[in-house]
Amino acid sequence: MAMRHVSRRGFMLVLSSPSGAGKSTISSGLLGRHPELTMSISATTRPMRPGEKHARDYLFVDQSEFDKMVLSGEMLEHAVVFGNSYGTPKDPVVNALNEGRDVLFDVDWQGTQQLRKNAPADVVSIFILPPSFDELERRLLARAQDTEEVMQDRMSRAHNEMSHWAEYEYIIINQEIEASVTVAGAILTAERYRRKRQAQLEIFVRGMKKPSNTTDSTVF
């Protein structure tokens, strides 16, 4: 007999880390291994970088438009990072969750707090730690994309970011990318099978027929 599908509501898989700890690379790895996972696209006021595309990497908007989205309640979370505004438009995420699709978030601890406040039952949080602070500094220096002033800001911010690690449900120490992606994927799979996420599970169980050769009167 074929198994009946038990529908469920999707959830938000939130990844946070200090800059340079590997969050974006792990996110890309997860999306590659789990094509059914949807990436949340943030709106931002920062300039578009070479190779980026509007509506694929970010929704690039000016500050006036961003402020209007915040004031009209269109954002699930928003924050200012290095002088630029970032935020997550609400409707695409809510629609995905209602359709049973899981949404991946690449946000900082402030964004995670706002998501928990606005949708506490839908958030699963993972914090990515570097193997050491020295290694984190080495990775940031290797990028060679930022001015010295921005680098100092990033290092200062990294200290602050890492102080919030204990607010997360899962912690991954990113010593090796492929291993970290595997662990994050295991968390994704396990969370999909949580009883509370399978909305029609009780109906499914009650609808199961008891074997005809049993006299057990127990009702599931």
DSSP codes, 58-121: BEE--HHHHHHHHHTT-EEEEEEETTEEEEEEHHHHHHHHHTT--EEEE--HHHHHHHHHH-GG
For the cut 70, the answer to whether the pLDDT of residue 184 exceeds it is yes
Residues 6+ apart with CB under 8 A from 162: 18, 129
CA distance 131 to 53: 32
| Residue of 101, 102, 103, 123 whose CA lies nearest to 113 | 123
CA distance 192 to 11: 8
Domains of the chain: 12-200 (3.40.50.300)
pLDDT digits (tens, 9 = 90+) for 22-62: 899 999 999 999 999 999 999 999 999 999 999 999 999 99
For the cut 90, the answer to whether the pLDDT of residue 101 exceeds it is yes
Amino acid at site 70: V
pLDDT digits (tens, 9 = 90+) for 150-165: 778 878 888 899 999 9
CA distance 140 to 145: 9
SS3 at position 128: strand
Per-residue confidence (pLDDT) for residue 212, from 0 to 100: 61
Per-residue confidence (pLDDT) for residue 213, from 0 to 100: 62
Percentage of the chain beyond pLDDT 70 is 90
| Residue of 15, 20, 40 whose CA lies nearest to 170 | 15
Cβ count within 10 A of residue 48: 12
191-217 mean pLDDT: 78
What is the pLDDT confidence band of residue 15, given thresholds at 50, 70 and 90?
very high
Distance between alpha carbon 61 and the CA centroid of its chain, in Å? 22
CA distance 116 to 132: 28
For the cut 50, the answer to whether the pLDDT of residue 2 exceeds it is no
Q: Which two tokens stand for residue 211?
A: 């074997």
Average pLDDT, the chain: 88
What values do phi and psi take at 126, rounded to 5? -125, 130
3-state secondary structure 145-196: CCCHHHHHHHHHHHHHHHCCHHHCCEEEECCCHHHHHHHHHHHHHHHHCCHH
